């Protein structure tokens, strides 16, 4: 007997319409692995990063004064030289490990008149805000101070805290009000910072170990981030060679951080033949690859450079092994090509990108060709993109990463989507150029005709990378991406948007504010996509009703529900009303029942047809068979009373005392709301 097929639940995108559905689960999973997020919650990642910094933080002088100002005035302005650790100090001023409150880093946005603006609506009650203006230009900062004054007023009104980071060159432009709130922080002792990092890694070198001339010279003026990188490199070297000592571990790691490696520069200068130089660059870019890969890559580079071919017969020329041996990078363990000198990869790449600036566009084209056309495995592509991104960012060309991502996804195929996401993520994470990359991404997501694969790469980067340090900006960009999705795409951007918005009450309010401020017109939602986004958000919020208790959230939800009721077809919104009723009737959400139902009633009350229809929906829902029928009847009665109170024809319902049994009043005995055109339907 054929019993047929029964699907009890879905574990992946479920196609219920007509046409094709494009599913990119494998590509998204690989992108997550390449980005190092592995599906982790961005809030958890942000907390891990803050906890990591807190455990290794060495307070600079005068940090206590900045903490006092923050406590007394809810704002502190800290100034410091680049590389002094000012950004981390600002984070530590706001971070309290036991508070459970995240830090919200805000960025000024370009206004319509060309100046900078600060979004005051993004400030939530008790928020901890960091505004980094360390790279702000003088002319733009002058116009931002009035915005900052109004922003500060909102911070005080909502009981939030704000730390502003400035560069010393902006000191002269400060108003008297901000000047008295400013503290100039000095660079902490670099040897203390290094020792703190090493001890957290269970490495305790003797005090004399830090007196080596090369190390002392490095610590004299190295940025705090480079000191942290040195400590991390030493930790990795210790893990690779546990039997060694600190003196064995640090020299090679320091060589990779220094820009003035004499031996490396001398190595490149000795390469007088064009093919040798091309081969050295190829080995550095594809370090650890097989000889075949090196051969095809160097051939492609020479073709891009239009290098003259060697016209001698092939067997009269040296073979690849001889050429590699001359460069001190023979094929070794596992048949992989590697330089024998540590740090040589960084030196060679830095030399070519620094001293052949006219060839950078060619290098970019070559890297794009290698990733697209060579048979590189995932790890090889990962390393190539990482090395290219490091050089592009070091030489101030972050736009190359965005350009590559667009190129790799232009044809709509998904094979190179993880590569595009990795390139974009490198730019988003960068300390200096991250803001510019985020602005380019914003300009891209505002376009409706982006290739689907590029939109997917942007979705992954925004939801898993940008959301860690800049969740507000990630939400704005995901909102734009979700607007552009259609039924053929599946909803990856919408899914990411809802996940981010429901992870934090402040972010939920921000999305609702965007829907009400930009998505609603006098004739309803601006587009069908905005209505779709709201109804999906309503369902998601019903699953986390604590998001709906904030007074601002309830006001925004009421506005959106009212727009749906006034201009949407009841067939569209009826399933979502049932979802809210189910959430209100759930025992675990009983404390939030009144907030859910009064919000829904307030939205439906001004529209008789909607009020009657929602009443009918609640009655039919309550009469459906099930073990929780009594609870549903009680919820339906609560909604009836809420609706009557919203229409001004009855008192508001009283919340039952904790533990009280549900009412047994049959729904059929409850009088309907004042709408003669709608009557309850038979269940």
Q: Mutual orientation of helices 399-408 and 378-394 as an angle, nearest 10°?
A: 150
DSSP 8-class letter at 280 = H
Q: Quote the pLDDT of residue 22.
A: 46
pLDDT digits (tens, 9 = 90+) for 375-390: 999 999 999 999 999 9
pLDDT, residue 311, reads 67
* Of 164, 76, 156, 160, the residue nearest 124 (C-alpha): 160
d(CA 14, CA 551): 35
User: What is the distance between the alpha carbons of residues 59 and 64, in angstroms, rounded to a whole number?
Assistant: 9
Joined tokens for residue 453: 């694969």
Give the CA distances from residue 264 to residues 261, 336, 345, 490, in Å, rounded to whole numbers and listed in that order: 5, 21, 9, 51
Strand arrangement of the beta sheet that strand 75-79 belongs to: 103-106, 128-132, 161-166, 75-79, 182-184
Round the average pLDDT of the chain to a whole number and report it: 85
Torsion angle (degrees, nearest 10) of CA 148, 154, 158, 163: 0
Give the pLDDT confidence score for residue 658 in this predicted structure: 41
Report how far residue 317's alpha carbon sits from residue 482's, in angstroms, rounded to the nearest whole number: 57
Distance of CA 354 to the CA centre of its chain: 31
Strand 524-525 relative to strand 520-521, pairing:
antiparallel
Q: Residue 290 carries which DSSP code?
A: -
Q: Which CATH architecture has domain 59-184?
A: 3-Layer(aba) Sandwich (3.40)
Q: Is the dihedral of CA 534, 538, 544, 545 positive or negative?
A: positive
pLDDT of residue 194: 95
Burial 368-388 (b: 16+ CB within 10 A, else e): bebbeebebeeebbbbbbebb
Query: What pLDDT score was predicted for residue 246?
Result: 92
- 173 to each of 107, 135, 477, 591, how far by Cα in Å? 20, 14, 33, 51
Query: Which parts of the chain sit beneath pLDDT 70?
Result: 1-25, 37-40, 98-101, 110-116, 259-264, 311, 314-317, 342, 487-489, 650, 654-683
Kindly give the residue spans of alpha helices, DSSP state H, lying in 519-628: 528-542, 551-567, 570-585, 593-604, 608-623
Task: Report residue 16 as tokens.
Answer: 């219920």
Per-residue pLDDT at 4: 35
Gyration radius from the chain CA atoms: 30
Q: What is the pLDDT of residues 103-152, one digit of tens each?
A: 888 877 765 555 667 878 778 788 899 998 888 888 778 778 888 888 99
Exposure b/e, 17-42, CB count within 10 A at least 16 = b: eeeeeeebeebbebbbebbebeeeeb
State the pLDDT at residue 649. 83
Residue with tokens 């809420």: 642
User: Among candidates 56, 101, 93, 61, which has minimal Cα distance to 76?
Assistant: 93
pTM: 0.84
């Amino acid at each position: 007997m054929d019993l047929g097929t029964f699907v009890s639940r879905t574990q992946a995108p479920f196609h219920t319409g007509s046409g094709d559905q494009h599913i990119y689960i494998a590509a998204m999973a690989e992108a997550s692995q390449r980005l190092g997020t592995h599906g982790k919650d961005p809030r958890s990642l942000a907390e891990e990063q803050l906890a990591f910094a807190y455990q290794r933080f060495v307070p600079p002088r005068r940090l206590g004064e900045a903490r006092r100002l923050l406590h007394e005035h809810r704002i502190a302005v800290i100034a410091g030289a680049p590389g002094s650790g000012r950004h981390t100090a600002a984070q530590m001023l706001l971070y309290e490990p036991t508070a459970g409150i995240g830090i919200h880093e805000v960025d000024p946005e370009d206004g319509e008149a060309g100046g900078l603006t600060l979004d005051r609506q993004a400030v939530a009650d008790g928020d901890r805000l960091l505004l980094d203006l360390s790279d702000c230009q003088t002319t733009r900062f002058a116009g931002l101070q009035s915005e900052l004054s109004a922003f500060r007023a909102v911070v005080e009104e909502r009981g939030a805290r704000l730390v502003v980071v400035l560069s010393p060159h902006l000191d002269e432009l400060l108003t008297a009000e901000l000047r008295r709130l400013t503290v100039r922080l000095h660079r902490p002792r670099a040897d203390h910072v290094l020792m703190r990092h090493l001890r957290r890694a269970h490495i305790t070198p003797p005090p004399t170990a830090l007196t080596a001339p090369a190390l002392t010279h490095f610590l004299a003026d190295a940025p705090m981030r480079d000191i942290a990188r040195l400590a991390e490199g030493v930790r990795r070297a210790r893990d690779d060679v546990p039997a060694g000592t600190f003196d064995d571990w640090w020299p090679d790691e320091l060589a990779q951080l220094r820009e003035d490696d004499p031996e490396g520069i001398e190595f490149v200068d000795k390469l007088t033949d064009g093919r040798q130089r091309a081969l050295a660059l190829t080995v550095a870019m594809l370090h650890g690859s097989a000889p075949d890969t090196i051969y095809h890559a160097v051939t492609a580079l020479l073709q891009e450079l239009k290098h003259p071919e060697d016209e001698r017969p092939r067997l009269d020329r040296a073979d690849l092994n001889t050429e590699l041996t001359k460069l001190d990078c023979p094929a070794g363990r596992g048949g992989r090509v590697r330089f024998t000198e540590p740090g040589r990869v960084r030196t060679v790449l830095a030399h070519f990108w620094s001293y052949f600036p006219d060839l950078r566009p060619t290098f970019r084209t070559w890297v794009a060709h290698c990733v697209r056309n060579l048979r590189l495995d995932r790890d090889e592509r990962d390393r190539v993109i990482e090395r290219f991104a490091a050089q592009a960012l070091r030489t101030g060309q972050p736009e190359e990463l965005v350009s590559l991502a667009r190129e790799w996804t232009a044809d709509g195929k998904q094979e190179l989507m993880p590569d595009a996401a990795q390139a974009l993520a490198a730019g988003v994470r960068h300390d200096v150029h991250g803001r510019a990359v985020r602005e380019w991404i914003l300009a891209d997501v505002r376009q409706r005709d982006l290739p689907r694969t590029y939109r997917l790469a942007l979705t992954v980067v925004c939801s898993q990378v940008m959301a860690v340090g800049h969740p507000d900006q990630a939400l704005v960009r995901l909102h734009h991406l979700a607007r552009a999705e259609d039924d053929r795409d599946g909803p990856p951007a919408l899914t990411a948007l809802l996940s981010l918005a429901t992870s934090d009450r402040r972010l939920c309010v921000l999305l609702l504010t965007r829907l009400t401020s930009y998505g609603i017109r006098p004739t309803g939602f601006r587009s069908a996509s905005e209505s779709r986004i709201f109804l999906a958000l309503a369902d998601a919020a019903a699953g986390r009703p604590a998001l709906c208790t904030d007074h601002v959230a309830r006001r925004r939800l009421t506005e959106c529900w009212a727009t749906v009721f006034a201009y949407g077809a009841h067939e569209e919104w009826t399933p979502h009303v049932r979802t809210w009723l189910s959430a209100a009737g759930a025992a675990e959400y009983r404390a939030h029942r009144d907030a859910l139902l009064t919000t829904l009633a307030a939205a439906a009350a001004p529209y008789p047809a909607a009020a009657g229809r929602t009443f009918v929906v609640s009655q039919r829902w309550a009469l459906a068979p099930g073990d929780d029928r009594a609870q549903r009847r009680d919820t339906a009665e609560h909604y009836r009373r809420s609706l009557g109170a919203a229409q001004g024809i009855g008192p508001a319902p009283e919340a039952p005392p904790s533990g009280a049994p549900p009412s047994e009043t049959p729904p059929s005995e409850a009088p309907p709301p004042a709408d003669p055109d709608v009557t309850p339907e038979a269940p």
